[in-house]
Homo-oligomer: A and B are copies of this chain.
Amino acid sequence: MNQRRSFLKTSATGAVATGALAAPMIAKAQSPEVRWRLASSFPKALDTIYGAAEVLSKRVAAVTNNRFQIRVFAGGEIVPAFGVADAVGNGTVEIGHTASYYYVGKNPTFGLTTSIPFGMNARQMSAWMYHGGGLQVSREFYKQFGFLNYPGGNTGAQMGGWWRKEIQTVADLKGIKIRNPGFGGRVHAALGAVPQQIPGGEIYQALERGTIDAAEWVGPYDDEKLGLQKIAKFYYYPGWWEPGPLLEFYVNQKAFDALPADYKAALEGACHEADITMTAEYDAKNPAALARLVNAGAQLRAFSPAIMQAAYKASQDIYNDEANKLPEFKKVFDSYSRFQRDSSRWMRVCEAAMDNFRPAA
């Protein structure tokens, strides 16, 4: 941090000297060279998510004539995948790209800006964040950790993962060991299953060896690469625990404050681009991947209404419990759940009527 600040100072001084000789050039001549490091929580293998950080980096460089450069590092390269919040907060890196729900152990409020069971879909998350108060309430919450956030792409509703056996009733879930972190895991536990936290790279082996009975990951495009279809043939939907997971860029507040106004603007603008294009990329890649998986023998199964209803009820109990215990969870959740309720009343009228239309045979 200190190194960069001293550069800023030098550059500004240089500009004043130049300005005396060529007045109209002053504004741009002050543009300092800035080098940031971005710690992603994701491996390059998750190319769509990882790629969002590269979209950001390229756009920022392009609009600043390469004077503001953000170098992207994959999860674990310079910061552990789940250490991104800390690393951005303490200034080890200036910016991170991560999923907030990785930090629910730190504070359950983190879960709300990614996705919660039976929460909002991708469009709703975007509307809540940009125009429904989501960005404000989440920034108030993040302030204590030393960073601010920008939406950074949405995977869309995720799949319910790969199951070795079919399940119909809540009783069928009893004792099922499922890879499912976060709030989804807590809901599964409430229903009698045994949630496991397993990094992506170890899921295949755990499922193959029978250490776990089921595993969820992302959606067809990413799931296909893990190869889980070879060892668990029932592919369930929907992933009710992740109806619209939003990734986020975390930006160290001091590093942000030290940026010139045009670089701040470049960063903000580029976050929006990374956000919309990542979602679009998943939406473009998932259909063909699902078709390939089904052609290769994956058996699509919908979670039964009984399981969906029980999971819904358990999830609401957990949110109420957290809201009663933790005022900052309550504050963000109140904003979230009010927006979801209002938004769904509209989406269920117009969007749903259109989306649910099927041509007669």
Chain A residues in contact with chain B, CB under 8 A? 14-15, 17-18, 21-22, 24-25, 27-29, 31, 59, 62-67, 118, 121-124, 126-132, 156-159, 219-220, 237-240, 243, 261-262, 265-266, 268-270, 272-273, 275-277, 279-281, 283-288, 290-291, 300, 302, 308-309, 312-313, 339, 342-343, 345-357, 359-360
Contact = CB atoms under 8 A, between A and B. Distances in A.
The 9 closest A-B pairs by CB, nearest first: A62-B265, A127-B283, A28-B28, A131-B284, A272-B273, A130-B280, A287-B346, A276-B276, A287-B342
A157 B276 contact: no
Given A67-B28, A281-B131, A240 B357 contact: yes
The prevalent SS among residues of A at the interface is helix
B287 A345 contact: yes
Given A18-B18, A65-B28, A279 B350 contact: no
B59 A349 contact: no
A357 B308 contact: yes
A24 B14 contact: yes
Contact of A266 (B63, B67, B281, B354): B63
Contact of A283 (B64, B131, B309, B359): B131
A157 B350 contact: yes
Contact of A121 (B18, B159, B279, B351): B351
Contact of A157 (B28, B287, B351): B351
A15 B22 CA distance: 9
Chain B CB within 10 Å, residue with most, of A219, A347, A350, A351:
A350
B67 A157 contact: no
Chain B CB within 10 Å, residue with most, of A268, A351, A354:
A354
A265 B63 contact: yes
A219 to B, nearest CB: 7
A118 B323 CA distance: 42
B59 A265 contact: yes
B345 A291 contact: yes
A262 B64 contact: yes
A25 B21 contact: no
A352 B353 contact: no
A237 B359 CA distance: 17
